[in-house]
Amino acid sequence: MPVRKIPKNYRNLTGLLPSEKSVGEAGFESALERDVLIYFEFKSNVRKFEVQPVQIEWVDEQKRKRTYTPDVLVHFDDRNPIIYEIKYSQDLTELLNEDRDKFRTAIGFARKKGWRFKFFTEDKVGMTYLKNIRFLLPFLQAGPRVETDMDLIDDKLHELTESTPRQIITSIYADEFNQADLIPTLWYLVATEQIGINLHEPLTMISKIWSVR
């Protein structure tokens, strides 16, 4: 559960992310924090995450006791938990120079817990990837509208091997009404990795997709 309440901020983007994986509220204090939380919500190997989960005591150069609250603790299915500090890459060098002792303490704190401490910047996955999963997340959370549509799309794509979203839906239905009904299920299949696509390139109706059977 969060140990600190995120205040409203009229200079930066703040808010709450609707989440099925968050323990407590999934609050964010910047656009990057929002996108990274979406990234963890989207990743299939993330079991749960906790925003601002712990307070870590440390001592600064003037020997004053301070506390530090990292951004998020992520629990994975396939590795030990990781505490992340989320920052834009352009701010990271200055941050490390100013607060080296704080982060050194955080690394030691995490190690004693059997966790790891890492920084998460937009360079880790790229802004295009983050934009794409922000687009796909609502389809992932909503699920397929009609399960039989999943079979229609999967069978057609398996037949073609490679295609595009536009080509798939137009090859299944001739009328625009039914084509439009297929689109949410198609993006759901992309989000759940049942259809292959390059998430590091902008998603469009003419993006290359392929069967992963």
67-96: per-residue pLDDT in tens? 999 999 999 999 999 999 999 999 988 888
Share of the chain above pLDDT 90, in %: 82
Residue 13 scores a pLDDT above 80: no
Residue 137 scores a pLDDT above 80: yes
Averaged pLDDT score across all residues of the chain: 92
- Provide the terminal-to-terminal Cα distance of the chain, rounded to the nearest Å: 39
Instruction: Kindly state the greatest CA–CA separation across the chain.
Output: 73
* CA pair distance 117, 119, nearest whole angstrom: 7
At residue 146, the pLDDT reads 85
Band (32; pLDDT cuts 50, 70, 90): very high
Band (61; pLDDT cuts 50, 70, 90): confident
27 in Cβ contact with 6 (< 8 Å): yes
Structure tokens belonging to residue 212? 């992963």
Structure tokens belonging to residue 104? 């050194």
Band (6; pLDDT cuts 50, 70, 90): low
Find how far residue 91's CA is from the centre of its chain.
21
Specify the CATH class of 15-120 in words. Answer: alpha beta
Band (7; pLDDT cuts 50, 70, 90): low
* CA pair distance 213, 155, nearest whole angstrom: 10
